[in-house]
Amino acid sequence: MNKFLFSRIKVIIDEKVGSMVRSSITSIVVRKPLDSEVSQMMSNINRVYGTTKANRMKIRLLANEMLRLLKINLSYKDLSMLTGIPESVLCRYVRGNIIPSYEQAVNILSKLTLSIDINHLLRELVEHEKSTLIDLSRVLKDPYVIRLLSIVLLLELVPTNITKIVVTAESVLPLGTLLGMELGAPIILVKRRSYPGVQYFSSIVVRSPKEAEALYLDKDMLSRKDFVLILADVVYSGKTMRAVIDMLEKARVTISDIIVILGLGEMWKERLKDYPVKTLTIIPPPIS
């Protein structure tokens, strides 16, 4: 690549700080990942999906889908810079005329997943709502965003052997469902009320001296052999998350990962310091 061409495309992708690409839907910030990061993700994908023809085809189709999702916001030139694939070939992938080879698909998914700044994307979606009350069901209302998040999270979770997904709120149930379909893992929703005839693990969250909330998980949907992903909408004080963790510890499952879409401040960190909590973005808590 000649220096003149590089100087022009540096406006789109900067190796040090990344840059912003605007669209009518939202902004997407991209960065150039390190070669070591890409190699590690490619290794993870190959270890999990490279063993059978069905899984290899799944990755090939997933690469096509991710390109189509990102093409809504990024140009072929942008995608070419991120993947190292000629624009003419990417165009054929996006249109569905051809699908990439397995090796090319792994390259596409690894580079694109590591290039997308999910933190920025979610912050913009929250700010777009312009409300002091954060409602993730409104933030995650766009199926484009939900599907993009599900693919990114799926590849970041590789090679975790997740058997169940515990969803803490209905606002992230669509995202949890997409992940469950990809991972082949049943979804368990944390309930706020109990029903006669059903056995539950339960926990009480004390909100204030005058307010408490009961949480429930169906006992028959969990076993000691389960590896559980907790998918949560918001974490603020960490009380709800800790109550969910307590119920899962009663069930004696293995908590593999904890993913929170939105962290409000950092008050929760002390209460959850012993657990593998990953927040996709953190914003300042609302002013009381």
Could you give the angle at which helices 143-157 and 118-129 cross, rounded to 10 degrees?
A: 150
Q: Strand 27-30 relative to strand 19-22: parallel, antiparallel, unpaired?
A: antiparallel
Phi-psi region of 225 (alpha: psi -120 to 50; beta: other; left: phi over 0): alpha
Cα–Cα distance measured from residue 139 to residue 146, given in angstroms and rounded to the nearest whole number = 10
In this prediction, residues 68-89 reach a mean pLDDT of: 93
Confidence of residue 38 (pLDDT cuts 50, 70, 90): very high
pTM for this predicted structure? 0.84
Cα–Cα distance measured from residue 202 to residue 194, given in angstroms and rounded to the nearest whole number = 9
- Using the predicted structure, report yes or no on whether residue 23 has a pLDDT greater than 80: no
Cα–Cα distance measured from residue 73 to residue 69, given in angstroms and rounded to the nearest whole number = 8
What's the confidence (pLDDT) of residue 241? 96
Q: Whats the size of the chain, residue-wise?
A: 288
Q: Are the C-beta atoms of 202 and 194 separated by less than 8 Å?
A: yes
Nearest to 261 by CA among 91, 138, 132, 162: 138
Q: Are the C-beta atoms of 167 and 188 separated by less than 8 Å?
A: yes
DSSP H/E element including 5 = helix 3-9
Alpha carbon 119 to chain centroid distance?
Answer: 10
- The per-residue pLDDT for range 238-287, each reduced to its tens digit, is 999 999 999 999 999 999 999 999 999 989 999 999 998 999 999 887 66
Q: Strand 164-167 relative to strand 187-189: parallel, antiparallel, unpaired?
A: parallel
Per-residue exposure over 100-116, b if at least 16 CB sit within 10 Å of its own CB, e if not: bebebbbbbbbbbbbbb
Mean pLDDT (the chain, rounded): 86
In terms of DSSP H, where are the helices of 31-142? 35-49, 53-71, 76-83, 87-95, 102-115, 118-129, 136-139
Tokens encoding 45: 């994908």
Cα–Cα distance measured from residue 115 to residue 54, given in angstroms and rounded to the nearest whole number = 27
Q: Are the C-beta atoms of 32 and 115 separated by less than 8 Å?
A: yes
Highest mean pLDDT: which range of 13-17, 26-30, 52-56: 52-56
Cα–Cα distance measured from residue 214 to residue 166, given in angstroms and rounded to the nearest whole number = 16
Confidence of residue 3 (pLDDT cuts 50, 70, 90): very low
Q: Are the C-beta atoms of 231 and 156 separated by less than 8 Å?
A: no
- What residue spans define the domains of the chain? 35-115, 118-283
- Using the predicted structure, report yes or no on whether residue 10 has a pLDDT greater than 90: no
Cα–Cα distance measured from residue 146 to residue 204, given in angstroms and rounded to the nearest whole number = 30
In this prediction, residues 81-96 reach a mean pLDDT of: 95
- The per-residue pLDDT for range 113-160, each reduced to its tens digit, is 999 888 888 888 887 776 666 778 888 888 888 999 999 999 888 767
The CATH number, out of the four listed (3.40.50.2020, 3.30.460.10, 3.10.129.10, 3.40.50.1370), of the domain defined by the range 118-283: 3.40.50.2020
